[in-house]
Amino acid sequence: MDTPATSAPLDLQEHLSRLDAKGLLTRISRPIDKDSELHPLARWQFQGGLHEDQRRGFLFTDVRGAKGESYDIPVAVNVLAASPAIYATGLGIAEKDIGDVWVKAMANPIAPVMVTDAPCQEIVLTGEQLTAPGGGLATLPVPISTPGFDAAPYFTATLCVTRDPDTGVRNMGTYRAGLKAQDRLGVRMASRLSGAGGYQHWLKYQARGEKMPCAIVIGCAPGILFTGPQKLPIDQDELGVAGGLIGSAVRIVKCKTIDLEVPADAEIVIEGLIDTDLLEPEGPFGESHGHVALEDYNLSMQVTAITRKRKAVFVSIVSQVTPSESSVMKRVAYEPLFLEHLQGVMNIKGLTKVVMHEALTNIRPVIFLQFNRSAPQSEVWRGMQAAATLQAQCGKIVIAVSDDIDARNADAVFWSIAYRASMIDDVHVVPYRAGGHGPKSGKKAAEGTLMIDATLKHPMPPLALPAEPYMTKARQIWEELQLPALSPQPPWHGYSLGDWGNLWTQFADAATKGDWRANGENTYARRHRGIKPETPVRDIEGKTP
């Protein structure tokens, strides 16, 4: 397939300029408290009923702290993936090309190139500069993501760079990091589901009895940051994939105090050493699965340096309850990657779309597969099984629907389950799967996968809404009358589902022309005796009219 060449921005500030030029960035100059106001304000884009096309990136230029602190670093939120349009802007492509660009980047990585002079090291804080009053991490406008529940300000839009001490392969993961002191962070790297790449590296350093070097990158080209949330093979260098995404080699530079490399054009870098002996309580923090994560013992990172651009921009993402910036960032890449795997690798016939349900469920547990009506039932089941097993945290519930169902409309999916799925024949529960990403409260129990075939199994009568020409004409009248703006949700007109005959079409056409009497004459001539009311006509006449 031909994949369009990217013209991706090479740093965060170039990306912000592009968003501004497209009308996708809102600048907020009034004072905003980072500890109690900033994230709640950005959250309203997702909780306020706005369509994702209405969402914008926010750039806060007058950021304050709860104790009256003032910062010379603006804070950008929702600028990475508040909507697919914003995400695509970060890659310099059209929305429709997101999946193709990802597939190409993973297959054709571009190795990074080393430089010695880096914008991310224009200012360097080390030693006593980290612990002096108001110094170190206190110089950064780190927001509180879930005021009222979070125990600290948190870095959220992170790339945590670590290196395998045996193979030398780098990993860049998006892991939360909470402020503990001006020179200490609590870092959470997932240990479930075989563990995040950074956690696997931590285990190796622990076995060696050594502390693990870690560099936390805050703000860089979106094409680099987007690699963090993806589940790439643990032995694949994300910097190479990032180069493939942006279409050129990522410039990297040696850190000042640890033996790691980071993107040279990053905004801010936190360097440090993670203890492999002592763990520190971390949390509570509002998690991306939509519940507050309570205190866990997690990694403790001693900061050894903070480096940044002279005029840096701090970036944060809105996560927690979905839809969110975090879920959009995953969904727009996960869906085409799942589709590519199911169609290209598993060769599932008749599959047309993969939809990961977003609202509240956080895209991973619930997956809808759309099939065309010619798909054999064996392919429907094979597709559901493949979707449920591709990634351990994805596909607790997998539902197959036909191509007349809008798989992004959960109401339409429930309708399909209600009328097209037999609870005896079309539902299957497979036991023993990983519990996935969720709250840890309550008793731990074995988990399974629920699969439902809600596709059409046989022809059905039409959907009982006016046919499309009549609804379209009525909408024109509606708009002429200047009635409230409409936002049609499929299905918004009736259509045939196969169980329909020419005579009934003639009846319907006659009725709309006022010729209903002719219909009555037809049925009068077809009267029958000796049968029970509600007997289908075709049971007597032997065919669909």
Going by their DSSP bridges, the two strands 158-163 and 212-218 should be labelled as: antiparallel
DSSP 3-state of 124? strand
- Nearest alpha carbon to residue 98 among 317, 245, 318, 225: 245
Confidence at residue 192, expressed as pLDDT on a 0 to 100 scale: 64
* CB contact at 8 A, 262 and 149: no
Higher pLDDT, 467 or 74: 74
- Nearest alpha carbon to residue 259 among 215, 294, 316, 225: 215
Confidence at residue 443, expressed as pLDDT on a 0 to 100 scale: 66
**CA distances to 11, 80, 172, 388, 531 from 160, in Å:** 17, 17, 5, 29, 76
Q: Is the pLDDT of residue 182 over 80?
A: yes
Q: Is the pLDDT of residue 232 over 90?
A: no
Number of C-alpha atoms within 13 angstroms, CB side, residue 169?
15
Q: Is the pLDDT of residue 94 over 80?
A: yes
Helix ranges (H only) for 48-185 are 84-91, 98-107
Confidence at residue 236, expressed as pLDDT on a 0 to 100 scale: 77
How far apart (Å, rounded) are the C-alpha atoms in residues 174 and 155? 10
Instruction: Please tell me the pTM assigned to this model.
Output: 0.88
Which whole number is the average pLDDT over 138-157? 94
For residue 121, the 8-state DSSP code is G
**CA distances to 260, 296, 358, 363, 393 from 289, in Å:** 31, 16, 11, 9, 11
Predicted confidence (pLDDT) per residue in 380-412, tens digit:
999 999 999 998 889 999 999 999 999 999 999
How far apart (Å, rounded) are the C-alpha atoms in residues 235 and 302? 26
CA–chain centroid gap for 525, Å, is: 60
For residue 342, the 8-state DSSP code is I
Q: Is the pLDDT of residue 3 over 90?
A: no
Predicted confidence (pLDDT) per residue in 449-463, tens digit:
999 999 999 998 998
Residues 6+ apart with CB under 8 A from 440: 293, 294, 296
> For the chain, which domains are there?
12-316 (2.30.110.10), 346-453 (3.40.1670.10), 468-541 (no CATH)
Tokens 């004072």 sit on residue: 31
* CB contact at 8 A, 230 and 109: no
How far apart (Å, rounded) are the C-alpha atoms in residues 468 and 220? 48
